[in-house]
Amino acid sequence: MQRREFSLSAASVAAAATFGAAVLPTAAQAQASAFKQGTDYLALDKPAPTEVAAGQVEVVEFFWYSCPHCNSFEPQLEAWAKKLPKDVVLRRVPVSFRPDFEPQQRLYYVLEGMGKVEELHKKVFYAIHVEKQALNTAALVTAWAEKQGIDKAKFTEMYNSFSVSTKARKATQLQDTYKVDGVPALGVAGRYFTSGSLAQTMPRALLVADYLVGLSRGKA
């Protein structure tokens, strides 16, 4: 979903509908396809901060829970993440293009802080895209979390905590450093950026990410 438009073109809808049926070529095939800077990916003018140890390569997924493309992409990303080499670390970063994005941004970081991402991350997508819950205010995300068995007082305390506020602020700064103009999108090693718009589809963007991981090794 593009930052400026927040609407789906007919082509985007068709692409999203066929996500589940897409077949990913191998990483070797991806590297052989000669991805091009400026077409398939962009190189950042200013390096973005990363949160990995020396010798590791960070891949950042920028997402928004209410984005239908992000919802469609999640199973693809999950399958890709399970096959990552040991030196590659995936980090999810919720974007905030407008003030009304922040409740979901904070929701993610509360789940992360409570160790609940693995259990509830996909359930947030399900609540929004299948059950049609808005989850776009602090009250709504708090009520949803409580229904998942999370203590309301503890959730509220963490939601309003300095730690979550800091993570939300840094997430927004990171999306701006990567110049994210739509989601889902991928940042690699604080150096490169690709997306469905650049790579033509998100499955192909994962192949571009594999290629960029290879370029990034040894440059940290």
Angle between the N-to-C axes of helices 102-113 and 152-159, in degrees from 0 to 180, rounded to the nearest 10: 110
Does the domain at 29-216 match CATH 3.10.290.10? Answer given as: no
Residue type, 35: F
- Percent of the chain's residues with pLDDT above 90: 83
Residue 6 has pLDDT above 50, yes or no: no
Q: Which of 131, 118, 122 is nearest to 74 (CA)?
A: 122
58 in Cβ contact with 91 (< 8 Å): yes
C-alpha of 5 from chain center: 19
Question: Quick one: which of 25, 26, 3, 54 has its CA closest to 189?
Answer: 54
Predicted model pTM: 0.85
- Cα–Cα distance for residue pair 70/6, rounded to 1 Å: 13
- Give per-residue pLDDT as tens, 86-145: 999 999 999 999 999 999 999 999 999 999 999 999 999 999 999 999 999 999 999 999
Kindly indicate the confidence band of residue 25, based on its pLDDT and cuts at 50, 70 and 90.
Answer: low
φ/ψ (deg, to 5) at 152: -60, -45
